[in-house]
Amino acid sequence: MENLKELLMRRRSTRKYTDQVLTQDRLNMIMEAALVAPTSKNSRAWQFVVVDNKEMLAALATCKKFGAVALETATAAIVVAANTEQSEAWIEDTSIAAAFMQLQAEDLGIGSCWVQIRERMYDDNTTAGQYVKQLLSMPENIEVECIIALGYKNEQRKPYDAEKMMWEKVHKNKWEEK
């Protein structure tokens, strides 16, 4: 494991990937990061679908009109979902698991991108969540939060710059207008 600060600075959304596939071992490591993520009341209501089938990835890439470009070249994707009856904090829980997976991926030199599904539309009548659920035969009581696109990077993004951090967003002891 490298320095966590460096890892946080270096992680950027990757939307273009090479053809190199992720081994099962790498996918398992990424899933382990999700499975140890904290959850409200330790409910662990999340569910994940690991997709590495090319046709299925291509079908996922059409889940919404805009913002799914990363899925077009991704060699794997994790559909991040939850049983909403098991936790009122399922959005937070799934989001934390997704972020953990993105950090683990980066640590392995694998690029990732969050593709938002909740509150997004496939077409005028179908939500992106309904489309994904139908495609993957997921049950009704499961809601999809996002898909994490994964693959080896085929674009270089600049790491975050410590000089450009938005410290004006940070208030100390009480709110101060800045």
Ligand X SMILES: Cc1cc2nc3c(=O)[nH]c(=O)nc-3n(C[C@H](O)[C@H](O)[C@H](O)COP(=O)(O)O)c2cc1C
Q: Could you list the residues that contact ligand X (CB under 6 A)?
A: 12-13, 15, 67, 70, 113-116
Closer residue to ligand X in complex, CB, 31/103: 103
Cα(152)–Cα(31) distance, integer angstroms: 17
Q: How far apart are CB 177 and ligand X at their closest, in Å?
A: 26
Q: How far apart are CB 103 and ligand X at their closest, in Å?
A: 11
At 49, is the secondary structure helix, strand, or coil? strand
Cα(31)–Cα(36) distance, integer angstroms: 9
Q: How far apart are CB 120 and ligand X at their closest, in Å?
A: 7
Closer residue to ligand X in complex, CB, 56/67: 67
Q: How far apart are CB 25 and ligand X at their closest, in Å?
A: 25
Closer residue to ligand X in complex, CB, 169/172: 169
> Which two tokens mark 161?
């710059």
> Which two tokens mark 56?
């299925």
CB 109 within 8 A of CB 55: no
In the chain the beta strands, taken as DSSP E runs, fall at 46-51, 76-83, 111-116, 142-151
Closer residue to ligand X in complex, CB, 51/113: 113
Cα(65)–Cα(46) distance, integer angstroms: 26
Q: How far apart are CB 41 and ligand X at their closest, in Å?
A: 23
First to last CA, the chain: 37
Closer residue to ligand X in complex, CB, 22/147: 147
C-alpha closest to that of 13 among 78, 110, 121, 128: 110
